[in-house]
Amino acid sequence: MSTDPWLERWLALITERAGTDPVLELGCGTGPDSAVLVGAGLRVVGIELSSESVAAARARVPHGAEFHCGDFRDAPFPLPAGDAEGSVGVVLASLSLHYFAWDETLALARRIHGVLRPGGVLLCRLNSVNDIQHGASGPPPEGKDSFYLVDGVPKRFFHRAAVERLFADGWRMLHLEELTVHRYEQPKVLWEAVLERN
């Protein structure tokens, strides 16, 4: 049983907005969210940087999902043949958009906006500045907007205002909530956001 069953409350919305098209999952990891989506009767196209994680995702979700190994900052997204920009109903990005410089993060938000059809939704989760168990400690480095090196890995930690700023252009915020989840050994504090393309 999942200790982080966050997608369950959004499955009706995801199913409605996805229609017959696959959900595009950015940073699918080993596929726990992909498995939930496929279990709900949806199809998934997942992108993950780690080849080991992609292999694990393929083993976990052998049917109903297509996994690609690569950097989702690279264009274009691996959409199914025949699908074009502006044709996706749902993009999922759980704990995967906070590893980049601010300009790269903004560019990703714009690319996600571009791949969604009008009325399509992005479900995303981002590190909170209150996530002290996972690296949010002390004032942010000068000019870095809560961007830290955590065990050698760059991570951004968001205030509510930063989440709102990231999605200020072309989005309607359907939901934004700071939550504590039990996904890892230590509790994790994050922002959960659901955004609709205007």
Q: Which two tokens stand for residue 128?
A: 């909170």
3 state DSSP class of 98: coil
pLDDT of 13 > 80? The answer is yes
Tell me what pLDDT residue 139 has: 62
pLDDT of 185 > 70? The answer is yes
Band the pLDDT of 1: cuts 50, 70, 90: very low
Instruction: Say what the alpha-carbon torsion angle 167, 54, 37, 121 is, to the nearest 10 degrees.
Output: 20
Going by the DSSP 8-state scheme, the letter that residue 183 receives in this structure is: S
pLDDT tens for each residue of 123-175? 999 999 999 888 887 666 555 568 888 888 999 999 999 999 999 999 999 99
pLDDT of 62 > 60? The answer is yes
Instruction: For residues 46-71, give the mean pLDDT.
Output: 97
pLDDT of 81 > 70? The answer is no
- Provide the whole-model pTM: 0.93
Q: What percent of the chain clears pLDDT 70, i.e. is strictly above it?
A: 91
3 state DSSP class of 180: strand
Q: Which two tokens stand for residue 151?
A: 């065990």
pLDDT of 106 > 90? The answer is yes
CA distances from 89 to 19, 72, 85, 116, 143 (A): 7, 18, 11, 6, 36
Band the pLDDT of 86: cuts 50, 70, 90: confident
Cα of first residue to Cα of last residue in the chain, in angstroms, is: 36
pLDDT of 88 > 70? The answer is yes
